[in-house]
């Protein structure tokens, strides 16, 4: 069984990139009234605690969402609109998280709208001034679909524990048939739903890449999906790490999109060096995930400008040392 649990990583810099992009894509797609189908092929547990044992162990949110929040101190409402969640990760009494307000860089005069939207959305899951709950992709998607009766959300999660937690969290939304939790392989499970009856869909593919075969499976899934349904919007998150499969993935996705003559966008965010370091005792220190990317096929035309502004600020405020970088490129 897989050992990856997203609760260790919730709110890290990769989630900042992925969830900012997801929100921007959905904001655009929900402007039309026509029914929308959203598929989350690797959904996770849905809600996470930033003050729980998992998040505390890794401290990743402190270098991601919480660091950004501290730098940009959103002025928007933090009224708690979320249902009482069953977030993953046991509650702990103190937080190692960054405290809002503490930052070295000056707050910019204007926060990029897509980044502000992301910060406001996460804040809406918490009581004013509190930063304990972090929404995963299923809840971010639901947040945008909740006023739209005809939309449908399908959530695939293969891990029994996470699927159970996700099911319990989703049950509290009383969303009826509009949301389905499927404890099955998302790479395979997507096939039976494409093309969707309304011919409007977003597919988020966010594997853990815990096993090497996830890389080719992403490419295979998308190759099949665009044949079944060429006009869907497809968003893949991927890690940027020094291993050949990871390096090849965005290149293979570009080749696929170009071959099918479909528009694409590739956005990356780097916050630190990928080189091994050493601690004071001379022991090797692994840097953790230094960078990641999102590749979108059939992106909204507004996405490039929105992400360029957002990632410029995210790179500035999430950088560890001098290794900040972002890139947003597009084709077709």
Using CB under 6 A as the criterion, which residues of the chain lie in contact with ligand SAM when the complex forms? 2, 4, 6, 18, 40, 42-44, 136-137, 156-159, 162, 185-187, 206-208
Q: DSSP H helical segments within the chain, as ranges?
A: 13-29, 53-58, 65-72, 113-123, 137-145, 160-171, 186-189, 214-228, 244-259, 303-318
Q: Say if residue 331 carries a ligand binding annotation.
A: no
Nearest one of 141, 147, 124 to 25, comparing CA atoms: 141
Nearest residue to ligand SAM, by Cβ distance, number only? 136
Residue 17, SS3 per DSSP: helix
Q: Are strands 179-182 and 277-278 parallel, antiparallel or unpaired?
A: unpaired
Backbone torsions φ then ψ of 207, nearest 5 degrees: -70, 165
Report how far apart, in Å, the C-alpha atoms of 77 and of each of 118, 129, 138, 227, 287 are.
13, 9, 22, 43, 35
Q: Say if residue 142 carries a ligand binding annotation.
A: no
Q: Say if residue 64 carries a ligand binding annotation.
A: no
88 near 5, Cβ under 8 Å?
yes
Closer to ligand SAM at the Cβ: 2 or 242?
2
218 near 251, Cβ under 8 Å?
no
Q: Say if residue 42 carries a ligand binding annotation.
A: yes
Closer to ligand SAM at the Cβ: 40 or 151?
40
Closer to ligand SAM at the Cβ: 294 or 318?
294
Q: Say if residue 208 carries a ligand binding annotation.
A: no
CB of 141 to ligand SAM, least distance (A): 9
CB of 75 to ligand SAM, least distance (A): 26
Residues known to be catalytic: 206
Backbone torsions φ then ψ of 248, nearest 5 degrees: -75, -25
Nearest one of 92, 66, 88, 91 to 5, comparing CA atoms: 88
CB of 46 to ligand SAM, least distance (A): 7
Closer to ligand SAM at the Cβ: 183 or 316?
183
CB of 189 to ligand SAM, least distance (A): 7
| Binding-site residues from annotation for S-adenosyl-L-methionine | 19, 42, 137, 157, 185-186, 206
């Amino acid at each position: 069984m897989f050992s990856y649990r997203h609760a260790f990583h919730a709110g890290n810099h990769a989630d900042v990139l992925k969830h900012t992009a997801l929100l921007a894509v959905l904001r655009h797609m929900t402007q039309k009234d026509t029914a929308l189908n959203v598929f989350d092929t690797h959904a996770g547990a849905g809600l996470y605690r930033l003050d729980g044992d998992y998040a505390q162990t890794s401290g990743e949110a402190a270098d991601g969402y919480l660091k950004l929040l501290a730098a940009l101190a959103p002025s928007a409402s933090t009224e708690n609109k979320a249902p009482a969640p069953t977030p993953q990760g046991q509650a702990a009494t103190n937080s190692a998280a960054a405290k809002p307000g503490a930052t070295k860089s000056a707050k910019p005069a204007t926060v990029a709208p897509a980044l502000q939207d992301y910060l406001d959305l996460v804040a809406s899951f918490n009581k004013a001034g509190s930063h304990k709950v972090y929404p995963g992709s299923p809840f971010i998607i639901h947040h945008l679909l909740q006023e739209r009766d005809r939309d449908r959300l399908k959530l695939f999660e293969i891990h029994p524990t996470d699927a159970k937690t996700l099911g319990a969290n989703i049950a509290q939304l009383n969303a009826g048939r509009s949301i389905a939790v499927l404890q099955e392989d998302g790479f395979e499970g997507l096939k039976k739903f494409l093309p969707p009856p309304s011919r409007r869909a977003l597919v988020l593919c966010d594997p853990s890449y815990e096993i090497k075969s996830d890389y080719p499976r992403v490419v295979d899934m998308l190759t099949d999906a665009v044949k079944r349904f060429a006009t869907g919007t497809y968003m893949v998150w991927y890690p940027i790490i020094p291993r050949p499969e990871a390096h090849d993935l965005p290149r293979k996705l570009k080749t696929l999109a170009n071959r099918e003559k479909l528009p694409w966008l590739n956005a990356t965010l780097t916050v630190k060096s990928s080189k091994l370091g050493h601690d004071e005792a001379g022991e090797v220190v692994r840097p953790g995930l230094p960078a990641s990317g999102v590749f979108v096929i059939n992106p909204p035309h507004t996405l490039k400008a929105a992400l360029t502004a957002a990632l410029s600020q995210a790179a500035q405020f999430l950088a560890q040392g001098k290794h900040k970088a972002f890139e947003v490129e597009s084709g077709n």
